[in-house]
Amino acid sequence: MIDIKFLRENPDAVKENIKKKFQEHKLPLVDEVIELDAKARKTQQEADNLRAERNKLSKQIGALMGQGKKDEAEEVKKQVNAQAARLEELAETEKELNEKVTKIMMSIPNIIDPSVPIGKNDTENVEVQKYGEPVVPDFEIPYHTDIMERFNGIDLDSARKVAGNGFYYLMGDIARLHSAVITYARDFMIDRGFTYCVPPFMIRSNVVTGVMSFEEMDAMMYKIEGEDLYLIGTSEHSMIGKFIDTIIPEAELPKTLTSYSPCFRKEKGAHGVEERGVYRIHQFEKQEMIVVCKPEDSPMWFDKLWQNTVDLFRSLDIPVRTLECCSGDLADLKVKSIDVEAWSPRQKKYFEVGSCSNLGDAQARRLKIRVNGENGKYFAHTLNNTVVAPPRMLIAFLENNLQADGSVRIPAVLQPYMGGKTEIR
């Protein structure tokens, strides 16, 4: 959510940003919110004037009563009572107007960084850099669930009976590999100075609307029936929510946290051959990283965060590339975003395994996450990035470490988490 003062003073810049995000249907919202905001401020001004007048009259009443002029005092009291009724009416009007302003402001996209490429959707994202040499072996790479089934490592049929499509049982060495990757990712981030955290896996609605847009909320979140609780779609939600309505001393910044959680997503609109298996599912586990920092430091942290993911995948011998997300592919709260994609020898192309985002002060403004600095209070900047999210990581891992005889090689860094195994057969 952008600053209402910025919108008030720079409506054309806000409209141009909306155009860059190809959301022309939102252009009328800018003029609408300016009109509503003007009415709200006018209402507030009238209320302030009435309060000042009421205070003045209240003093008159006291003076008149002290002089024994009871009748005159009663007449002044009638004026005060009439003003009280008007004040109550103004307060209700102001509240209603401010609620409308807030609702519209939450629909207007954040101002994107000038470096973001302009494009309508993810097909226009821009490759930044490749890391590692993508290899296509001279033997066939089976579909990832076929590889897992060779190790008796997955049971989709039983999961469908228990929970429906989009769920799975991982078994044996594949389940162990899944946990090993998560645990390795946790230690990898701790070694880079991040504080480990296991957060709540459910959050209240005010946190949900604080960390994401209405469109994302509808497409992703599962609501707990009869309660003001939602299952998290990523631990970023509860991790950023940890700082709701707080004032952080500037000296304590940055806050750098890495968190483990299960994640739950509706995944509306998932389709296609690559949506089978465990590529796009309703439940998975993830290691995440978030940063709360000073505004001037967020570009530096943005680069550090996505580099962490690249380094982790390269330590597991998985080639990756980074993609700069174009304007039309950015969620409304995001200022800038980079996707990390892993190489798939089977598909002979890259696929997304993580996303790094700088949200500026959008989440902090919604959740009232402020910093107490030398020159006063200001809103913090928040960032998030995926460290690793099995089972997508498992797809990349199995395909890139599969050997001709059907065994899977275990890179050296992962062997301590696999009981010393150098391969699974």
Task: Say what the pLDDT of residue 271 is.
Answer: 47
Say if residue 66's pLDDT is above 80.
no
Same domain, 101 and 135: no
Same domain, 91 and 133: no
Q: What angle do CA 302, 307, 308 make, to 5 degrees?
A: 105
Supply the pTM of this predicted model. 0.88
Question: Tokens standing for 65?
Answer: 């009563």
> In whole numbers, what is the pLDDT of the chain averaged over residues?
91
Decide if 408 is inside a domain: yes
Cα–Cα dist 258/287, whole Å:
7
Task: Say what the pLDDT of residue 100 is.
Answer: 94
Same domain, 90 and 237: no
- Taking the alpha carbons at both ends of the chain, their separation in whole angstroms is 51
Say if residue 86's pLDDT is above 90.
no
Q: Which of 35-49, 55-69, 195-209, 407-421 bottoms out in mean pLDDT, i.e. has the lowest?
A: 55-69
Q: What is the DSSP letter of 96?
A: H
Look at residues 49, 80, 105 and tell me which one is the last residue of a structural domain: 105
Cα–Cα dist 17/330, whole Å:
12
Cα–Cα dist 333/360, whole Å:
8
Decide if 35 is inside a domain: yes
Same domain, 139 and 273: yes
Task: Say what the pLDDT of residue 273 is.
Answer: 38
Q: Could you give phi then psi for residue 69, rounded to 5 degrees? A: -90, 70
| pLDDT tens-digit map of 289-311 | 999 999 999 999 999 999 999 99
Say if residue 63's pLDDT is above 60.
yes
Same domain, 250 and 316: yes
* Pairwise pLDDT comparison (220 vs 186), residue with the higher score: 186
Task: Say what the pLDDT of residue 277 is.
Answer: 78
Cα–Cα dist 17/22, whole Å:
9
298 in Cβ contact with 357 (< 8 Å): no
Query: What's the rounded mean pLDDT across residues 357-373?
Result: 96
Length of the chain: 425
Q: Which of 109-123, 210-224, 276-290, 310-324 bottoms out in mean pLDDT, i.e. has the lowest?
A: 210-224
Report which of 288, 297, 290, 289 is spatially closest to residue 371, judged by C-alpha positions. 297
Same domain, 74 and 217: no
Same domain, 144 and 77: no
Q: Which positions ≥6 away from 92 have C-beta within 8 Å?
A: none
| pLDDT tens-digit map of 229-280 | 999 999 999 999 999 999 999 999 999 999 999 999 987 655 443 456 788 8
Same domain, 162 and 46: no
Query: What's the rounded mean pLDDT across residues 39-44?
Result: 92
390 in Cβ contact with 181 (< 8 Å): yes
Q: How many CB atoms lie within 10 A of CB 86?
A: 14
Work out the pLDDT band at 216, boundaries 50, 70, 90. confident
* Helical spans, DSSP H, in 256-319: 298-315
Decide if 128 is inside a domain: yes
| pLDDT tens-digit map of 113-130 | 999 999 999 999 999 999
Question: Tokens standing for 191?
Answer: 């070694």
CATH of the domain at 145: 3.30.930.10
Same domain, 161 and 252: yes
Positive/negative CA dihedral, 292, 295, 297, 298? positive
Same domain, 225 and 311: yes
Task: Say what the pLDDT of residue 11 is.
Answer: 95
Provide the domain limits for residue 97. 4-105
Cis amide bond preceding 199, omega within 30: no
Cα–Cα dist 229/19, whole Å:
35
